[in-house]
Structures are given as C-alpha cells and as structure tokens.
Amino acid sequence: MKLRMFVMLALAVAATLFAADVPSAGSAAPAFTLPSQDGSAVALSQFKGKWVVLYFYPKDFTSGCTLEAHNFQRDLKKYEEKNAAIVGVSVDAVDSHKSFCTKEGLNFKLLADTQHEVSAKYGSVMEHEGVTYAARNTFLIDPAGVIRKVYVKVKPAGHSEEVLADLAALQK
C-alpha cells in the first residue's frame, strides 16, 4: 500500500512539473479544442496554413488584459495581411468572454479553458492567492503548426507590436 501511494504521489508530482514546462521554439504546438465566446468549438488544427498568435492571459475585464486585447484588436488588420489569426485563451468561462468581446469590441476568438488543460499544455498556468489563472505567455505558431517564437511573462503595452515585428522577420 505504501508503494502504491508513493507511486501515485510521484506521478502527481511529475505531472505537475511536466505541465509547468513551456513548449520551446521549434517544437510542435500542442493540439487543442476549446469553446470560443460564441460557443463554437475552436481547434488549433482549423488554422493549418495560417500563422497563429496564441496568447494566454489571466482574466477578462482586468486592466492589463484589456490593454493587451485592445492592442491585438487595433492591429488585427495587420495580422490578417500577414495571414495570421489572433487567438486568446484564459480560464474564464464562455459567457465572460462573450461579455468581454462585446464590451471591448473584440473581433477575434477568445477561448475558454475552464479546466486549465490547454494552459497546462502550454506551461501557462499560475496561481495567485489560491486561484488558478492563465499566465501571460504568447506563442507564435507557423502555418505547419510549429512554434516559432515564445514570449513568457509578457508586458501588455508593446506586445502586439513586438509580435508583428517578429512575424514580419520570420516571413522573410
């Protein structure tokens, strides 16, 4: 019985450590399917042939997250001209995303990762005062599904411009 408990504890610790790893540039982007603000299921595979800016953020309606979303929205046409889609992920529910998009005029997909599974696959889970959030990380994924650039602990203010510049450099 003690061995069984030890093995279960070791597996739990290993799973936690593995979940905390941020995928690196050059690796395949982990597959996912999550509901968006309109309730439709969105899978990474739907974007095959396009660049994807997959950004994780802590919480709808907070100042940093609103700034980051506004900047991506402001630059959305520039991303579309570069064959890139913006996809945001947080642990907020579909209804929260729907309200956030409506209030803030957002026209790109926000995905609800309420079980934290996708955030964990991307090493983007954090806890604050006992509450689990998505960590502010971004992944620039190429049309073949390979991560080309990883941004951790993002600062919202100039992030969209930074991603656009890197996207342009990678497309040369």
Per-residue tokens: 51: 């660049």
**Which residues make beta-bridge pairs with 128?**
131
Question: Are 122 and 22 a contacting pair, CB within 8 Å?
Answer: yes
| Cα-to-chain-centroid distance, residue 154 | 12
Given 29, 65, 110, 167, which residue is catalytic? 65
65 is catalytic: yes
- Helices and strands: H and E segment counts in the chain: 6, 9
Q: Residue 69 burial (CB < 10 Å; 0-12/13-18/19+)?
A: buried
| Cβ within 8 Å of residue 69, ≥6 positions away | 57, 88, 100, 104, 106, 110
Find, among 11, 41, 8, 13, the residue nearest to 118 by Cα: 41
Place of tokens 């991506």: 72
Catalytic sites, residue numbers = 65
